[in-house]
């Protein structure tokens, strides 16, 4: 489904990604692990098209020079220079780290806003699926999003991406700052999302909560791929266990 090959990103002369390659196949949950500044978010933004958008804006105003080399292919098509909106239409949807919600709008309004490219019937059907996935949001549907807890806002953020009909869902640090109980809810939702036929690429710094649900994983340091393998192979790697799984 997704093939990234030899992807490198330079911000002026600073190397953010160094010849990074990874795959996400249909129906998989793939983990991308690494410390802060490892390059995880840069990769996710590049797959989603946000790096391209930033590059174009910087070129227009004569600002920071951004260089992107390599390949990003989605279902056999090169999308490296495809605008973000077109990628969303193709089914690539990003839930960013601390994904912003419309704080002055209600939960239900946030979800309806996310379905702006779909018919009213399609959007309502998707919203009902979100409430099935996160029953906790049902009683909050008329509450302003800015009054929700961090975990509730993360549920809403993921729900907003689902209303956009993703085929590949990019989750950037979805567990950041959440309680263990709320982390468990998000991980449970990821398994349910996969059952809907949606592939997931998820980044995390501390991998233990995510690890039981991934099919494969990649470990990055300083923009470079360090190792990869199945979940079991990574768990059997002592250095990976120590650095990323707290074991």
Q: What is the residue whose two structure tokens read 């959440």?
A: 178
pTM for this entry: 0.93
Q: How far apart are CA 92 and CA 45, in angstroms?
A: 11
Predicted pLDDT of residue 91: 95
List, for residues 204-222, the tens digit of each pLDDT value.
987 788 888 999 999 999 9
List, for residues 2-50, the tens digit of each pLDDT value.
999 999 999 998 999 999 999 999 999 999 999 888 999 999 999 999 9
Domain 2-244, CATH 3.40.250.10 — does that match? Answer: no
- pLDDT exceeds 60 at position 247: no
Residues paired with 94 in a beta bridge: 170
Check if the beta carbon of residue 44 is closer than 8 Å to that of residue 172: yes
- pLDDT exceeds 70 at position 243: no
pLDDT band at 237 (very low <50, low <70, confident <90, very high): confident
Q: What is the residue whose two structure tokens read 């490219």?
A: 117
Check if the beta carbon of residue 52 is closer than 8 Å to that of residue 68: yes
Angle between helices 107-114 and 150-163 (to 10 degrees): 30
Predicted pLDDT of residue 225: 94
Pairing, β 14-24 against β 77-78:
unpaired
- pLDDT exceeds 80 at position 108: yes
Q: How far apart are CA 27 and CA 159, in angstroms?
A: 19
pLDDT band at 246 (very low <50, low <70, confident <90, very high): low
């Amino acid at each position: 489904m997704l093939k990234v090959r030899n992807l490198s990103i330079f911000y002026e002369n600073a190397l953010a990604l160094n010849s990074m390659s990874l795959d996400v196949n249909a129906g998989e949950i793939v983990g991308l692990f690494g410390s802060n500044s490892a390059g995880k978010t840069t990769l996710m933004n590049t797959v989603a098209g946000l790096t391209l958008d930033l590059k174009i804006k910087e070129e227009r105003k004569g600002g920071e020079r951004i260089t992107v080399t390599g390949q990003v292919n989605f279902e056999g098509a090169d999308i490296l220079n495809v605008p973000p909106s077109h990628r969303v239409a193709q089914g690539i949807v990003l839930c960013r780290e601390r994904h912003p919600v419309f704080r002055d709008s209600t939960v239900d309004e946030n979800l309806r806003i996310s379905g702006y490219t779909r018919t009213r019937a399609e959007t309502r059907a998707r919203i009902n699926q979100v409430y099935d996935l996160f029953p906790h949001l049902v009683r909050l549907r008329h509450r302003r999003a800015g009054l929700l807890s961090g975990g509730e806002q993360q549920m809403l953020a993921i729900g907003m991406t689902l209303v956009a009909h993703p085929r590949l869902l990019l989750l950037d640090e979805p567990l950041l700052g959440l309680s263990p109980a709320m982390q468990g809810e998000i991980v449970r939702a990821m398994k349910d999302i996969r059952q809907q036929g949606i592939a997931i690429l998820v980044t995390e710094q501390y991998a233990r909560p995510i690890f039981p649900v991934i099919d494969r994983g990649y470990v990055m340091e300083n923009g470079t791929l360090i190792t990869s393998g199945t979940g079991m192979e990574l768990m059997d790697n002592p250095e990976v266990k120590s650095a990323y799984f707290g074991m």
